[in-house]
Amino acid sequence: MSPGDSMPFTHPDTQAIIGGLEAAAKSLAEQGGTLAWGVFRRGETGTAAHGDVPYRIASMTKSFTAAAIGCLAANGLDLDRSLGQIVPELRGTSIADRTCRQALTMGTGFAKDDPWADRVEAMTSAELIDYLKRGAIPIAPADTGFEYSNLGYALLGLVAESVTGQSFIDIVTAEVLQPLGLSRTGFDVADFPDLMPGIRIDRNGQGHPTELTGPGAFSPIGGVISTVNDIGTWMNAHMDALDSLDAYAPGALPRILSDNQQSHRLIEVQTSEHHAESVNYGFGLQPRLDSRFGRVVCHSGGYPGYGSHMRWFPDLGLSIVVFGNTTYYPAERTVREAIDAGWAAATASPDRQLIRTSFAVPAPHHRVAPEQSETVLRAANLVIDFDEEVANELFAVNMDLDEPRTERRERFDAWKDDRQLTQSFTDEDVTMTTPLKGTVTAHTTQTATITVSLDHLGEVQTISLSS
């Protein structure tokens, strides 16, 4: 079906979408940030704000990594060979029996690791292998569910280098960026002197500049820097690939981009009174089916100082991208709300709101080890009585980078005092949802929960407090 054909789907009102994005830009500006965005319709001139200003696009990078791996697969890389067979240095580690396909589709069974992984981009390959040899902990058997894990994409970078003898960045540049003319897309901050500065906003609303990281073993998870206009080209290339699938040989880049947009692993189903939507993971992308719009493909990104989201609608010939320059800016929510507003306007119900209910796919988990629940309990008790030595023992490398201890203690104290918590938590207060994530509940008249997540070695990477 070409964009001009009759279709049973609703094209959202473009002006309503743009109005929503302009409102989001104004809101971010009030916090000291800058929103870049673009709305593109195939065959027409797009509308963009700050379209040529480079931002870090964080996990949107995974679509580029998947494309590079697709190029290698077209030249003989077996996606179902184990990582340990391809990268001999991984043998003997707990991830050695996982495959490239499982890593591409978030099916390795290794836990969500965003805060930790976002801080270790410059880690070397040797350091990553040493880290894994210390005993990385899977939370589930492979291929038993969806678990977003950056670790698998970092290992795909090692795979690319092992089979080619080239650097991962050189592979992506030669096989993906240059053929598509993405001249304002790359990995090294030194190549982008006009990079939009990232901002961390503290609990008092004050902005602080974020530290930039350099390329390394974790660049495949989120190291790309790009512009709204370049990502507009990237999204259009994906839609072109779907339109002309039969015209390309299996090893051609457009065919690879088409393959990456196929659903491989169901994440969840979202419903509202007005729509139903399946959310899946492909290769570095989230393919969806939305009863309002037909096919949807997207991916988000979050990094210290940045948040991003790209989304395109192949059956409508429409694509949208948003970049914000504050830590984990909620770009996906911004895009979703703008699209919902555009749909409501197009259906002559401009005030209609979609209240979504999500049904996640259940997945089995390994048993929780006593030391894992003990770490969660000890981390939660730092909120009640902060102990520097305990924090030194438990905290992963990202913790003090994400929030200086002075600010963290102030936040803990304010939350604790507001809920009048004085007693330490005990084992009975801990509920482990996975071997590396648990919630501690305080039995008070107010809602009071503390959620602790651990990195692959069982060190604390987040301590989140209920609002």
Half-sphere exposure of 342 (CA within 13 A, CB side): 23
Assessment of whether the complete model's pTM goes beyond 0.85: yes
Which tokens sit at 343?
Answer: 């749909």
In sequence order, what are the beta bridge partners of 276?
271
**Nearest CA-CA partner of 92 in 154, 151, 136, 156:** 136
**In contact, 259 and 70? CB cutoff 8 Å:** yes
| E strand or H helix at 421 | none
| Euclidean distance between the first and the last CA atom of the chain, given in angstroms as a whole number | 46
Measured distance CA(253)–CA(245) in Å, rounded: 11
Half-sphere exposure of 58 (CA within 13 A, CB side): 29
Is residue 160 classed as helix, strand or coil in its secondary structure?
helix
Measured distance CA(156)–CA(165) in Å, rounded: 14
Measured distance CA(328)–CA(231) in Å, rounded: 19
Measured distance CA(37)–CA(332) in Å, rounded: 12
Measured distance CA(221)–CA(153) in Å, rounded: 6
| E strand or H helix at 210 | none
Tens-of-pLDDT digits for all 467 residues of the chain? 444 454 589 999 999 999 999 999 999 999 999 999 999 999 888 999 999 999 999 999 999 999 999 999 999 999 999 999 999 999 999 999 999 999 999 999 999 999 999 999 999 999 999 999 999 999 999 999 999 999 999 999 999 999 999 999 999 999 999 999 999 999 999 999 999 999 999 999 999 999 998 899 999 999 999 999 999 999 999 999 999 777 888 899 999 999 999 999 999 999 999 999 999 999 999 999 999 999 999 999 999 999 999 999 999 999 999 999 999 999 999 999 999 999 999 999 999 999 999 999 999 999 999 999 999 999 999 999 999 999 999 999 999 999 999 999 999 999 999 999 999 999 999 999 999 999 999 987 777 999 999 999 999 999 999 98
Measured distance CA(332)–CA(176) in Å, rounded: 25
Measured distance CA(397)–CA(394) in Å, rounded: 10
**In contact, 12 and 20? CB cutoff 8 Å:** no
**Nearest CA-CA partner of 287 in 251, 307, 321, 258:** 258
**Nearest CA-CA partner of 451 in 376, 395, 366:** 376
